[in-house]
Amino acid sequence: MTYAELHCHSNFTLLEGGSHPEELVERAKELGLSGIAITDRDALYGAVRFSQAGREAGIAALIGAELTLEDDTHLVLLAEARQGYANLARLISRARLDNPRGEPHTTYDALAQHAKGLIALSGCERGAVPRALARGDFRGACEVAGRLRDAFGWGNFWIELQRHLVPEDGPRIRALSAVADALELGLVATGGVHYAVPEHREASDVLSCIRLKSMLDDAGTRLRPNGEFFLRSAHEMAQLFREHPRAVAASASIAERCAFRLGRLENEFPDFPLPPGETHFSYLYARVQEGVRRRYQPVTPEVSAQIAHELAIIEKLDLAGYFLIVWDIVRFANERNILVQGRGSAANSAVCYALGITSVDPVGLKLLFERFLSEERDEPPDIDLDCPSGDQREQIIQYVYERYGRDHAGMVAEVITYRARMAVRDVGKAIGLSLDQVDVLAKALDSSSAGGVEEELAGQTLRADIDGAVASLLPALAVDLTGDTARRLYELCARIDGFPRHLGQHSGGMVVTRSPLIEVAPLEPAAMENRTILGWDKDDCASLGLIKIDILGLGMLDCIERSFAEIERVRGVKIDVTDLRACDDPRIYDLLCAADTVGLFQVESRAQMASLPRLRPRRFYDIVVQVAIIRPGPIQGDMVHPYIRRRNGLEPVTYPHLKLVGALERTLGVPLFQEQGMRMAIEAAGFTPGQADELRRAMGHKRSRDKMARLHGRLMDGMEQNGIERSIAQRLFGMLSAFADYGFPESHAASFALIVYVSAFLKVHHAPEFYASLLNAQPMGFYSPATLIGDARRHGVTVLPPDVNASRYECTAEPVGEPPQAVPGTVSAGPATGDIALRIGLNQVRGIGEKHKTLFDAQKERGPYADIRDFVLRTALSKDILESLAAVGAFECFGLSRRQAVWDVQRLAPLPRAGALERAMAVHEPQVRLPAMEPIEEAAADYWGLGLSTRYQAVQFCRERLDKLRVYRAVDLPRLPNRLVLKVAGVVTTRQRPGTAKGFVFTTMEDETGIINVIIRPDVYRRYRHTARDVPAVIVEGLLQKEAGTLNVLARRFWKLEVADLAENLSSRNFH
Amino acid sequence: MRVACLVIPQFIVDVCLRAKPSLRGRPTAVAEGASRRTIACASAAALGVSAGMTPKQARAACPGLTIVARNELAEREATSELLDALEACSPIVTGAAPGSCHFDAAHLPAGENAALGSALAIAGALGFSEAAAAIADDKFTARCAAVTAKSGASVVPSGASAAFLSGLPAALLPLAPGDLERFDLLGLRTLGHIAALPAGPLAARFGERARAYARLARGEDDEPLLPRHAQAIHESRFAFDGSIDRLEALLFALRGCVGTVANRLAGCAQACDRVEIALERSQPPADGCLSIPVGFTEPTASAETIFQLCRIALESREALGSVDAIAVRAVPCSQPLPQLALFDGSRASRRAALAATLARLKTALQRERIVTIQSTPSRSRLPERMQRSIPIESPRDVDDCAHEPTCGQPVIDLRSNHCTGRRVELPTTPTVKPRQAWAPALRLVDPPSRIDPPAARAACAGPFRLSESWWERPVERDYYQLVDAAGAVLLVYQDKRDDCWYVQGVFD
């Protein structure tokens, strides 16, 4: 007997299904089923992965879904043909779009309208027919079954039998058979599967508890009664349905009927609206020629040839419409003065450069077009656009919706999957741990994989050789890490590692289609207004061949755009990025060489700062290398140090083979970029550019063993034909595969390098405006506002506190009379920035957010506030916000001390809601003398109300104590001898634990004089884990390391630095 | 005025440890709530355990933890005991919160320090190890002094309250939520800071409650010490002319004694929750005095109720012997008497009747067998977990249960009485339909009875597989509905964990 499982939930029936789609397919194959259908509830989220797994396993993978109907019953639908799939997608979309978020349901009328090409099964015990029978309403059951039969047509609606060994099974099956007999409907047996094997039941139960927001102890009968909801073989099903053998056989025949498979969706390319008489290509050709004349002056033969080559490929692949779509988006952005720039491999294309999509010249930089597009490539090209995050990005997204219609454009989803911390939180709560306990456990984790939770919490890494640390750690965790509860937690976390939890919206991916999108894939409303999202993630879209455009919000572009506007407002100077393309200002390169890069794009991380003084960039291409070299690929491929040595003349420049000189010359014989890997294959093995790109992708992120083997042979043969010895050829292959995995595209690095240059330009020449814009564009970058303010002060920028009359909603640059003074004793007191200061905006004050912007802007227009009473009455802000403003000194313009203002606020806050008489009444009361704030209290109020202080740094209040302990300041370090064992102290601003650093942790601390870089070895980190990881301010004893202009302290011991009331408001940015 | 305050920080745990001394020194926590789901207090040895945790969370934090149920009755008794004992120090004693007592310290003959020493000694003798005591001019100052002293005794000299309080943290005030943070922001961190502020502006900002803050902070707590209600034992005795051995005569005398005691209680506006019947016997073999305690579920001063319960208590005794005299002693309970019902049929009267019935049942049967059966169909599919028995301590328990929406009409079920073998059920119908088809007609065998595996050819339906609680107490059973030789339909199961067969119920 053959059997196909037609009712099967994967873990994309979110927080319910206990197995991945691939596990279900694999198990179905093991059991010898003739087919398996995925029927997740009101969704097709897992359909692409499921279909792909089905194709690979050679088993019929049917697409279906279990719909929730308007009467809260369930119905299973299977796509018989393409039209059925389109109808299924439409039904799910309408169910989600027409109903409140999270409560999709389908009407019977909609079912009747879109039933073509679909086969329906009556469903589980929550189906309309079984539910009527459970009420004892046989007539009602027949009525609803008849209605569904009429909707889908005779032969397309089946009565579904399930048996899970519960007492209700027998009566229900008998009643269902009677309904089928009465209406002459067919019976089909299904498993109502929720997991592949019985062992996955526990995960399913826990996920159900998470969904129900319940603990296992309290879930009771809301969990399934037993573990019988797994996938069964034909034999087992035959045993289970002994009295209905035809029902089991019917499953296989239904599976045979369902011929639709979700593969590549052809002909989904959208139409670009054209003027009359134009074709896509002719119109593109004209736009490219215009662009070439504008951007290339003069147009060299080299440029013409490259443009002709690219256009020929674009025409051949019929992609002109795609380029026009992207060009049109960029055109729209330029018209609105929105900074937009293509990133990624698109920067390899001269056509993209000519169209204004990208900003770096690929001909001048000799970039390889085939990295972007080639004939051999069977994927659509991928163009990512960077634009300022926030409102402007939204304008572009809404333009795409308007241009192509909401039926043809949608945002791509991002499937949020379980990782370590989220898994510990959710599973911990489900098994009964308290919120505090799961919080402590989750925060204790460094690893991202939920599979590593046990190793990290109970394994040797934490427990061995850490006597003191464990003693301090365990009481804090307040959980027995080796007990039964903890062990169950580890097992369940490991099981749900990578399980989908919910759907989010991708940061910028949009899909545009020719067919109505609603028939291509299910849509659903996003949390944001006016957004619809496609229920697949970007990988799913790519594997189906859908055209995707990424419109990514880049905080630094936002910052740059704000800076330009502020410079124009304050100084009357208009800056155009095109004016900076020469990239030849020596002061900017001086800044980079000094690693003075806090706040800059891409080069502000610890690793970048450490390498900048060694690489010493002096021209634009050096920045391109700088952006690309501190990456996992070059680091793991051991390419960083050879390059630095060669650049500094400490090692001769050599090449693996003379044929590769051309490819590797610019990077001194060390391959750094993906394009170089491709060029190596072209030069050494005679590959065509398209073949070279195929090699890159085969070696890339999703390695294909078969492809690799085939290409290895071809590569070796090619190299042999070019006269390269076998051993050298083998070495070259090894070199290629080592970095192909993570190698950075040169084009991408070039696009980013331009932004690095512009951000450095702003820091050097317009620091107050730059820092103000950085603060307004938060959150972004590596450093918190407090660190940025510290950096600004060290660069001689006068930082003024918030003031209700002087501040605007956002941070601004403000002309001041006195030229600013650099903070004495700072590490790098930079150039004085003239008579412009940075004024902290009211948006930085605790409790004030975007919703208050209009209020403050409107009141600013009305003129200054007369006194605190006037401010309270005009703004009618809440007491909490008024207290925050008072605490940070924003009312000092009225001659009120901070505490006096807080005292007044207590009385005035209710005034806006009082009657007219009370508001008009003058109150005379005795003067109250409140204790004046000490400097440390002012600092605490600043950190509490602003998250930063414009006047103080937390460590300065401990300096007397630290001096007694012979703790050095950051400013002292440059004059101290190398390899001195010393103590330093500071507030921890960042912690990094890169995956490529073999357990080393890089910490940045800040004291009142500057920044201190600390490196923590794995053994020291283990010993002082709690202090090094969680304590906001620390004292570190370590070895001073001075090398090539970099200063580091190699930590040996840690102590907690007590900073009184400040500690609770100090936070670091951790990148684990 | 001079007021003393005694503070026992770990009062709730100490009360439990007094009942179970073997737990001393071991990590112990006290759980409270209807289902004992919240930790109320933990001993010093219970590291990582804090109030508000669930027992599971607390055990995860402290593996060797013993959790005991909070015993509010014992706490009341302990408080009463403590107050009784403190009367040795002062005539006016009053209890505030659990573990906190005040007593009048004016004109103490042995001096203040001696009184505090005595109070601490009393607390120690009663099993409260970590106590602190202090004397000051008012209750708030005395309490602050005791709390800040943490242990031992301290005296705030007369007239020095304001000075003493000025340096103490403002958090000692009974502040409304949020006030402490605002005081902190204003730099008002001590009671002295608050005392120095003018009351009007303070009240304009923090409301009228702030005036009380200021008064307390200045050491001007004017709340008087209310004397503890005097508790006299009401006793009535009846001596027979000779010895009697007939119950009727005894009951005749009992009625008279009870009537006298009840009148005295009513005259003092008191009620009692227990009486003691003393039977004086001079003739062998049972010479001496036989004391029979009779407890009530609810305080009462009703002569009829007291008499009926005493009668049942006497009737349940098989041999009382020859009695020379009978005495009835009633100790008024601290709980004031609720307003007495004026007319029969009122809710209070019905509850009194229910209380009497329950008391009668408790006297006749085992107390722990008197329960309400709460149907919990959503709790589990296992038959034995689909209902929950809740002990009835007071008629209010029945009232509360009746008002719970999930509970439906409560079933009062007297489980099988081991003494008589009888099973008494008050006929009420659960309104919540159990999930399982078999549940309504199933009479449970509790606990399930082990049987031999049924014959292979036995007429049965099944298996129905139930597996629950895999995370804690795994249950895996294959259920069958089996027809036995007599034609009865049984619910039997094979436990998959021990492979044995059990009968769990019989279908009516």
Q: For A697-730, what is the HEC assignment?
A: HHHCCCCCHHHHHHHHHHHHHHHHHCCCCHHHHH
Residue A567 has pLDDT above 70, yes or no: yes
Test mutation, B438, B467, B471, B472, chain A, max A CBs within 10 A? B471
Q: Is the dihedral of CA A532, A534, A539, A544 positive or negative?
A: negative
Average pLDDT over residues A353-376: 87
pLDDT on residue B335: 52
Element (H, E) at B371: strand B370-375
Assess contact for A12 and A43: CB atoms under 8 A: yes
CA–CA dist A897, A887 (Å, integer):
9
| Residue A941 confidence (pLDDT) | 92
In this structure, of A177-186, A862-871, B463-472, the range with the lowest mean pLDDT score is B463-472
pLDDT the model gives residue A456:
79
Relative to beta strand A341-343, strand A383-388 is: antiparallel
Section A438-443 average pLDDT: 83
Mean of pLDDT over chain B: 80
Beta strands B3-7 and B100-104: pairing type?
A: antiparallel
What pLDDT, on the 0 to 100 scale, is given for residue B367? 64
Mapped to the 3 state alphabet, what secondary structure does B271-321 carry? CEEEEEEEEEECCCCCCEEEEEEEEEEEEECCHHHHHHHHHHHHHCCCCCC
Mean pLDDT value across residues B271-282: 86
Q: Choose the closest CB to B465 out of A216, A226, A480.
A: A226
Q: CB B380 to CB A227 under 8 A?
A: no
**Digit-coded pLDDT (tens) for B136-155:** 999 999 999 998 887 788 89
Q: Which residues of A touch B467 (CB under 8 A)?
A: 225-227
Which residues from chain B sit within 8 angstroms of residue A937, using beta carbons?
A: 187
Res B430: pLDDT: 32
> Is there a contact between A541 and A412 (Cβ–Cβ < 8 Å)?
yes
CB A897 within 8 A of CB A932: yes
The answer to whether B468 and B386 are in contact (CB under 8 A) is no
User: Which tokens go with A479?
Assistant: 């959980």
Is residue A669 within 8 Å of A653, Cβ to Cβ? yes
DSSP state of A580: G
The residue type found at A332 is F
DSSP for A892-913 reads GGGT--HHHHHHHHHHHTTGGG
Indicate the pLDDT class of residue B377, thresholds 50, 70 and 90: confident
**A732: which 2 tokens?**
């070259």
pLDDT at A834: 57
- Pick the residue of B54, B185, B489, B494 with the most A CBs within 10 A to test the interface with A by mutation: B185
Look at residue A267 and tell me whether its pLDDT is greater than 60.
Answer: no
Question: Which of A163, A166, A888, A907 would best serve as a mutation to test chain B binding (most B beta carbons within 10 A)?
Answer: A166
Q: Measuring CA to CA, how many Å separate A642 from each of A333, A415, A671, A681, A739? A: 42, 40, 10, 22, 14
Query: Which residues in chain B are closer than 8 Å to A227, comparing Cβ atoms?
Result: 467
- Cβ–Cβ below 8 Å for A201 and B470: yes
Is residue A556's pLDDT more than 90? yes
Please write the tens of the pLDDT for every residue from A381-411: 888 899 998 888 989 999 998 888 888 888 9
Q: Name the residue among B61, B464, B470 with its Cβ closest to that of A202.
A: B470
For A977-1014, the pLDDT digits (tens) are 999 999 999 999 998 887 777 788 999 999 999 999 99
> Token digits for A384?
């990512």
pLDDT for B415 beyond 50:
no
Q: Are A935 and A1061 a contacting pair, CB within 8 Å? A: no
Dihedral pair phi/psi, residue A746, rounded to 5°: -60, -40
For residues A678 and A739, the answer to whether their CB atoms sit within 8 Å is no
A492-548, pLDDT tens digit by residue?
Answer: 999 999 999 998 888 888 888 888 888 888 998 888 777 788 989 888 888 888 888
pTM of this structure = 0.74
Return d(Cα A455, Cα A654) in angstroms, integer: 44
Average pLDDT, chain A: 88
Give the pLDDT score at A491: 93
Mean local confidence (pLDDT), A61-71: 96
CB nearest to A225's CB, from B182, B466, B470: B466
Which two tokens mark B273? 């929750």
How far is residue A1033 from each of residues A913, A953, A958, A1062, B117, measured CA to CA in Å? 43, 12, 11, 10, 47
Tell me the backbone φ, ψ of residue A969, rounded to 5 degrees: -95, 165
Question: Cα separation of B399 and B376, whole Å?
Answer: 18
Q: Please say if the pLDDT value at position A962 is more than 80.
A: yes
B356 versus A942: the higher-pLDDT residue is: A942
Segment B205-211 shows an average pLDDT of: 89
CA atoms within 13 A of residue A8's CA, in its CB half-sphere: 31
Alpha-carbon distance of B420 to A175, in angstroms, equals 47
- Could you tell me where the beta strands, DSSP code E, fall in A850-902? none
Percent of chain A with pLDDT over 70: 94
B96 at interface of A, judged by CB pairs closer than 8 A: no
Query: Which pair of structure tokens corresponds to residue B301?
Result: 């001063």
Mutation target for B interface from A906, A908, A924: give the one with most B CBs within 10 A: A906
Q: How confident is the model at residue A462 (pLDDT cuts 50, 70, 90)?
A: low
Q: Is the pLDDT of residue A465 over 50?
A: no
Test B205 with A906 for CB contact under 8 angstroms: yes
SS3 B490: strand
The beta-carbon neighbor of B185 closest among A165, A485, A902 is: A902
Read off the pLDDT of residues A645-663 as tens digits, 9 standing for 90 and up. 998 888 999 888 888 888 8
Among B residues 62-81, those touching chain A with beta carbons less than 8 Å apart: 62-63
Nearest CA in chain B to A908: B205
Nearest chain A Cα to B197, which residue?
A: A928
Residue B435 binned pLDDT confidence (cut-offs 50, 70, 90): very low
B186 touching A, CB under 8 A? yes
- Above 60 in pLDDT, residue A271? yes
* A973 pLDDT above the threshold of 90: yes
Chain B residues inside the 8 Å CB shell of A909: none
For residues A560 and A774, what is the distance between their CA atoms, to the nearest angstrom? 8
CA distance A180 to chain B (A): 23
Residue B178 near chain A (CB below 8 Å):
no
